[in-house]
Amino acid sequence: MGSGLYHKYPYGDGVLGEDVSWLRQAPHWGFLIYRCDYRSDDAWKTFINGWSSRVKSYLNEQYDDADLVRKLLFTVKDDRSTLNNATIERVHKLFSEWRRSEEAHAKPQATDMSLSGI
């Protein structure tokens, strides 16, 4: 199988899934999360903390590469005035703008390595 980074357990016919070894070369990778519901801060914190924990657990269980989790960033956009009840189209536009921004291409700071924006 070479030096690829594959899902630990084979799918149906033994195929190991997509090779994600390209993540090894990335200085960081992760998820950009837009909060669009502001009804409950407690529910939001429970969700985002539980979700990030499950993602990290999954990565640790499925891949034999500690750097994968170490390089993982969760960036949360949490601007009630812009995002409250935002449509999919609005979030897509904001994401497209973010991709071209300096923030998207900046080297993460030490505090960015965990959840930010919550």
Residues 74-101: tens digit of each pLDDT: 999 999 999 999 999 999 999 999 999 9
Q: What is the pLDDT of residue 77?
A: 96
Least confident of 6-10, 56-60, 65-69: 6-10
The fraction of the chain above a pLDDT of 70, given in percent, is: 81
Tokens of 11: 């799918």
Of the ranges 7-11, 44-48, 112-116, which is most confident? 44-48
Q: What is the pLDDT of residue 2?
A: 56
